[in-house]
Amino acid sequence: MNMYDLIVKKKRGGTLAADEIRWMIRGYTDGKIPDYQMSAMMMAICFVGMSDEETKDLTLAMAKSGDMLDLSAIKGIKVDKHSTGGVGDKTSLVLAPLVASLGVPVAKMSGRGLGHTGGTIDKLESFTGFRTSLSTDEFIHNVNTIHIAVAGQTANLAPADKKLYALRDVTGTVDQMSLIASSIMSKKLASGADAIVLDVKTGDGAFMKNLEDSRALAQEMVSIGRLAGKDVSAVISDMDQPLGFAVGNALEVKEAIDTLRGKGPADLEELALVLGSYMAVKAGRASDVREAEEMLRESLLGGMAFDVFCRFIRAQGGDPKDARDPDRLPRARYREEALSPKTGYISDIATEEIGRICLLLGGGRQTKDSRVDLSVGLVLRKKKGDSVKEGESLAVIHAGDRALLKEAKRRLVQAYSFSEEKPDPVPLIKDII
Ligand code: URA
């Protein structure tokens, strides 16, 4: 077999056989197939697509490219959650401690930013000293003692996905259904959780821009998970505007902390409660989602979820004082308001563009070796359906560089659309599979 032939086969619309996929994934993981050939293959898949069979074979080959974690030393039903990626999506930071506060073992594997979307691991690094690289023993110990551990992909957990994720991030090859499904599910199969709740985003800020594609992605991931014996559900949620108001690593951590203290944006709280209820039911802590939601709400309002968050930050090397006083988190040098050019209602927000503005400011990676500036980003003042007056603030830009600040401001104003009539509200939860 050789990679050149496989690239050409896919480019011409062919179907890759299971042994070809296994050979390709092994060769890439071992460093025998170079990035440039794998980039060409990823791009061919973006144009040609993959069958369900190929997607399943790719998922299994990636899951088996490294260690399969054995979490049997953790008592109870272990639950994990994964988002397909969005703008301002800091849900895991709220959800993981919230669910853990009910005593549910949350064994979470998270990722870094991808394309125009952010990642939990980058966000958590806003806490000085925080470690996302945990040994299996430490991971198991933390879940057994404080019910929560959040780790990045270790070098040997689905290493093929780890390499491909970084490659896709900078080669414009993220937004393909089979690549997303296999990337997410390979990690989930390798990471040993018993139950998984998927947050499948839909809309302009998601990789799947319409509901039909998002449903297909959700179905694909649920069926791969079930084939592997996992209890999987998918919630399809709106990404036609950023979630909450903050976009950018440390800014999102601050908003997540506000939410854990009962003072967060309504959409973020709602999403955490919905996903959390499914996780709690799967773990056997509640008999139905209604009961689970009540328990979670109580924990949020009673401060229990925030206490777990502080314990979690300490257990992984961070300082919980940064959580109690988030002004200690990284802060950008410059802050400026972007002002509305019109009076009316906000009818639309170009959400992917908001994610790209954050990238422009340095909040994500332009190349595999880029360093992320954790302090930069934007905090929206106006969301869809809000009324606005000319000259009123649309958002505050947080930047480390004056020229970038100016460019970000120009693009942010253009990302907003206005109408004279108040637009109809859009539901946050679109479907549950
Ligand atoms: N999250 C992942 O882990 N992989 C993707 O491809 C998209 C979102």
Q: Which of 182, 184, 220 to mutate to test the pocket of ligand 1 (most atoms within 8 A of CB)?
A: 184
Q: Per-residue pLDDT tens for 244-254?
A: 999 999 999 99
Phi, psi of 418, rounded to the nearest 5 degrees: -125, 150
Residue 402 Cα distances to 332, 357, 364, 405, angstroms: 11, 14, 18, 5
Percent of the chain clearing pLDDT 70 (strictly above): 100
Of the listed 10, 116, 187, 384, which one is catalytic? 187
Round to whole Å and give the CA distance between 231 and 257. Answer: 30
**Cβ(183) – ligand 1 distance below 6 Å:** yes
Q: Is the pLDDT of residue 153 over 70?
A: yes
Q: Is the pLDDT of residue 167 over 90?
A: yes
Round to whole Å and give the CA distance between 68 and 73. Answer: 14
Q: Per-residue pLDDT tens for 184-230?
A: 999 999 988 899 999 999 999 998 999 999 999 999 999 999 988 89
Q: Which of 183, 185, 188, 217 to mutate to test the pocket of ligand 1 (most atoms within 8 A of CB)?
A: 183
Query: Are residues 317 and 343 part of one domain?
Result: no
Please give the structure tokens belonging to residue 60. 């299994």
**Cβ(111) – ligand 1 distance below 6 Å:** yes
Give catalytic status of residue 183 as yes or no: yes
Q: Per-residue pLDDT tens for 69-95?
A: 888 899 899 999 999 999 999 999 999
Residues spanned by the domain of 125: 79-326
Identify each DSSP E strand in 67-214 by its residue range.
Answer: 79-83, 106-110, 148-152, 195-202
Q: Per-residue pLDDT tens for 355-382?
A: 999 999 999 987 777 789 999 999 999 9
Average pLDDT over residues 10-32: 97
Give catalytic status of residue 187 as yes or no: yes
Query: How many CB atoms are closer than 10 A to CB 181?
Result: 29
Sheet holding 246-247, edge to edge: 246-247, 377-380, 393-399, 334-339
Q: Is the pLDDT of residue 384 over 80?
A: yes
What does the H/E/C string look like for 20-52?
Answer: HHHHHHHHHHCCCCCHHHHHHHHHHHHHHCCCH
Contact between 216 and 177 (Cβ < 8 Å) = yes
- Dist. CA 183 → ligand 1 center (Å): 6
Q: Which atom of ligand 1 is nearest to the CA of 168?
A: 6
- Residue 42 is part of a domain; what is its CATH number? 1.20.970.10
**Cβ(221) – ligand 1 distance below 6 Å:** no
**Last residue in a domain, options 295, 326, 357:** 326
**Cβ(114) – ligand 1 distance below 6 Å:** yes
Q: How many residues does the chain have?
A: 433
Sheet holding 387-388, edge to edge: 387-388, 344-349, 416-419
Identify each DSSP E strand in 62-180 by its residue range.
Answer: 79-83, 106-110, 148-152
Query: Are residues 317 and 392 part of one domain?
Result: no
- Does the residue 58 lie in any domain? no
Confidence of residue 113 (pLDDT cuts 50, 70, 90): confident
**Cβ(363) – ligand 1 distance below 6 Å:** no
Q: Per-residue pLDDT tens for 45-67?
A: 999 999 999 999 999 999 999 98
- Does the residue 394 lie in any domain? yes
Query: Are residues 106 and 88 part of one domain?
Result: yes
Percent of the chain clearing pLDDT 90 (strictly above): 86
Query: Which residue's CA is the nearest one to ligand 1's atom 2?
Result: 184
Average pLDDT over residues 379-407: 97
- Does the residue 427 lie in any domain? no
Q: Is the pLDDT of residue 420 over 70?
A: yes
Q: Per-residue pLDDT tens for 326-355?
A: 999 999 999 999 999 999 999 999 999 999
pTM of the model: 0.91
Per-residue pLDDT at 155: 66
DSSP 114: B
Least confident of 33-37, 110-114, 219-223: 110-114
Query: Are residues 237 and 339 part of one domain?
Result: no
Query: Are residues 117 and 239 part of one domain?
Result: yes
**For 374-408, b where at least 16 C-beta lie within 10 A, e where not — what string?**
bbbbbbbbbebeeebeeeeebbbbbbbbeebbebb
Give catalytic status of residue 201 as yes or no: no
- Dist. CA 84 → ligand 1 center (Å): 5
Of the listed 39, 183, 214, 375, which one is catalytic? 183
Q: Is the pLDDT of residue 255 over 80?
A: yes
Instruction: Please give the tally of structural domains in the chain.
Output: 3
User: Residue 374's Cα: distance from chain center in Å?
Assistant: 16
Taking all residues of the chain, what is their mean pLDDT, rounded to a whole number? Answer: 94
Confidence of residue 109 (pLDDT cuts 50, 70, 90): confident
- Does the residue 62 lie in any domain? no
Of the listed 57, 80, 122, 161, which one is catalytic? 161
- Dist. CA 222 → ligand 1 center (Å): 15
